[in-house]
Structure 1
Amino acid sequence: SLIKALLGYDPGVVNGRGGVLGHVTSYYGCVEAQGRGTLHCHMLIWVEGSLNPNELKAKVLANDQSSREFQQRLINFLDATIINHIQPIPSTSSPQSTPDFHPSSVRSHLHSNSQSGNDISTRRDLDMHFLSKSCQSHRHTKTCYKYCKPGEPLQCRFDMDPSNTEPTSRFDVETGELHLRCLDGMVNNYNPTMLEALRCNMDIKFIGSGASAKAILYYVTDYITKSPLKTHVAYAALASAVKYVEATLDAPDNLCYKGKRLLQHCAYSLINEQEVSAQQVMACLLDNGDHYTSHKFGNLYWTSFEKYIQRIEHQQIQDTSLAEAHPESDSSEDERVDDIEDHEEEDDGEVTLTLERNTGNLIPVSDQVADYLHRGPGLEEVCLWDSIRQLEKVRLRKAKLQADESDSDDDDQPVSCAEMDEGPNEDEPVSKFALLDRSFRRPTFNFSRQHQQVHTHVLKVRHPDRKLIPVPIEPAIP
């Protein structure tokens, strides 16, 4: 309901009306649990027509008539979208005290038994007053000052202070930085429509500068990757597991078995120490998921390609040095290429494993480097980024034979998906128009003969509406 009703995002609807934030083009939300177990969601939302921070800054600093009109339109939109003060009690309502229940525990005050007539607007304003006061008003606690050192002045780590106010929204003409209006320094930013519908605490922020984007991304990535288990608790659990294994296993000659048991008990000890709230359990049982996205993503294991390129460069340097040292050498280019191919097995990049049906053994079948290098002549002009984005490796299926041909020897021969319900296999180089083709029957392409799965798999072009967003996987940031 949040995505369709409030954000107005529905990929199946063309030229929709949009939502409370305008026309949303994409979103990404990650569900997390607080220390108390309550669930909340960090969500990034992209709005159609928005400018990146550099474009926004350049447009603001232009300082001409068009720039001033743009600044005023943007300020009007943000002032209407983001509120940071307690909604006042409507003057037309009768004096009444704060209700004895939390506003979030009821659907709204519009369904009350009030006999005041058709004053729906007044009751909505009154409901918004109690909601914003109960859900958005900040109260300082000990956690606000947990990073303050002894002797230093107390400062809220959330930067909430009654003095943090800004009477009007404005742009800094020298830096292009936007200062949003803030009428109450103790109230979190919120959108009235979302607050009225969701009836819970929220925080909304406009990302209009590079510094804001970096700060938000750092906060989200740092927050969602933190371990739910304290370091000292984890080490204590591991120590108890080691002591248990040493006390119960008297088999020093069987080190392999003892090592397996040690790993099992260490894993069990860590799992037992983790606290899971009832909300997390119910979300898992209801299969609600831990993230919400408008698009699908595909991993690009860049490290494997980088190592492959480095091997080629190193081999070329060696060949050049060898040719200069021995000009009479007649080693062919094919031999050098074969030598490079032989070293591919040394790559420690992402390798796909499959389970052999007959023996049950795990065997390596392919990796992304091999899939791209041996993609076949029909896909030679497709770059690596587009191959991850729009090409899908699918397994060949057996043809559905007629009843009178059920005993035919051809039953064991794999037939491409293209021969059943897809477009025909292509041997000609694919063009950009083929990647943008929106027909239901998708073309497929065979791998070159050097590929390990040439007889069992093909590459299928995804529909333009189902393209993936490549995510480069690189070494971790120190």
Structure 2
Amino acid sequence: MLDPKSTFQQRIIEYLESVHMGEFTTGTMADVEARLDKEKQRKGYVPATETLPTAPPKKTCKTQCGECENCSKIIAWWKMYQYTVDELYLSNRHSCHKGCMNNKYGTCKGRFPRPLFTMTTVDPESGAINMKKGELWMNWFTTLVTYLLRCNTDITSLLSGTAIKSVVAYVTDYITKTPLKTYTVFHAVRNMFSKLNDEDRDVNEDSRSKARSGFVKIVNALTAQSEIGAPMAALYLLKNPDHYTQVY
């Protein structure tokens, strides 16, 4: 299995590279940025993040001759598909800011920049797979998902037991949140507004950015309030009743 010439390893790598990637399909980030800057000057330009996906042509050429009208439509659609996917430059590109660097280590919370690999390699000793990645500031993504959803995504292959456990813990944390009481919601919102008023805001920050930042902080505060604690989670896992009764 660890033999680089084995059919199994080659097919595994082919599969992984086909379902997620960490680089653009039509060039480097600089190439995509230059093309988008040019596109924005075109009258009637609408960002891909604000449009719906276009279905591929229904009629196809049975012989795939590459010269007929049906083939021309398919080729044009695939070109549009690749360009649209590469417009994830608008959403999947990370740029460090004071929020992601606000920790005691002074490093990016999103783990950027990411390590680069010119090709997918497999460590012969441990079997660890280092996936091909060509961009420092991009998440992993799947082209089809990006084309359909047109938003920021982070699609990663779970290549270790640790990664799988982390995802299970992450998902469990989200699905075990309980509805908040009304007074708890208003209390959290009030506290966050008080903090925002006390903070020294950046004078160069426009009102839209301030509002966005404020709402994000409010949502995060509400999310923290709705989490189930470890004792409650253990109580359900042990199938104990979810309430206390008076002991006589």
Q: Same fold (TM over 0.5)?
A: yes
Matched, 1:171 2:131: no
* Equivalent runs, 1:139-178 vs 2, <5 Å: 139-147=95-103, 149=104, 154-161=106-113, 164-178=115-129
Structure 1: unaligned runs, 5 residues or longer: 1-59, 112-116, 230-266, 276-299, 305-348, 352-478
1:83 paired residue among 21, 39, 64: 21
Shift of the 160–225 alpha-carbon distance from structure 1 to 2, 3 Å rule, reads farther
Shift of 1:186: 0.7
**Matched residues in 2 for 1:270 and 1:143: separation?**
25
* 1:33 match: none
| TM-score, reference length from structure 2 | 0.57
* 2:90 match: 134
> Contact conserved, 1:228 with 1:274, CA < 8 A, in 2?
no
**Matched residues in 2 for 1:64 and 1:75: separation?**
10
Q: Provide the identity percentage.
A: 22
- Give 3-state SS (helix, strand or coil) of 1:143's partner: coil
**Matched residues in 1 for 2:185 and 2:80: separation?**
49
* Equivalent runs, 1:206-225 vs 2, <5 Å: 206-222=157-173
**Matched residues in 2 for 1:78 and 1:212: separation?**
16
* 1:71 match: 9
**Matched residues in 1 for 2:237 and 2:107: separation?**
43
> Contact conserved, 1:86 with 1:187, CA < 8 A, in 2?
no
AA aligned opposite 2:184:
L
* 2:198 match: none
**Matched residues in 2 for 1:87 and 1:228: separation?**
42
- Give 3-state SS (helix, strand or coil) of 2:100's partner: helix
**Matched residues in 1 for 2:26 and 2:166: separation?**
32
AA aligned opposite 2:16:
L
Shift of 1:174: 1.0
**Matched residues in 2 for 1:139 and 1:228: separation?**
34
* 2:152 match: 201
**Matched residues in 2 for 1:228 and 1:303: separation?**
22
Matched, 1:103 2:48: yes
Q: Which has the higher strand share?
A: 1
State the structure with bigger RCO (CA 8 A, min sep 6), 1 or 2. 2
Structure 2: unaligned runs, 5 residues or longer: 57-71, 190-234, 243-248
* 1:270 match: 184
**Matched residues in 1 for 2:122 and 2:97: separation?**
33
**Matched residues in 1 for 2:134 and 2:117: separation?**
6
* 1:187 match: 138
Q: How many residues matched?
A: 172
* 1:332 match: none
> Contact conserved, 1:109 with 1:127, CA < 8 A, in 2?
no
> Contact conserved, 2:4 with 2:10, CA < 8 A, in 1?
no
Shift of 1:182: 1.1
**Matched residues in 1 for 2:112 and 2:139: separation?**
8
Shift of the 223–350 alpha-carbon distance from structure 1 to 2, 3 Å rule, reads closer
| TM-score, reference length from structure 1 | 0.31
> Contact conserved, 1:190 with 1:203, CA < 8 A, in 2?
yes
Q: Which has the higher helix share?
A: 2
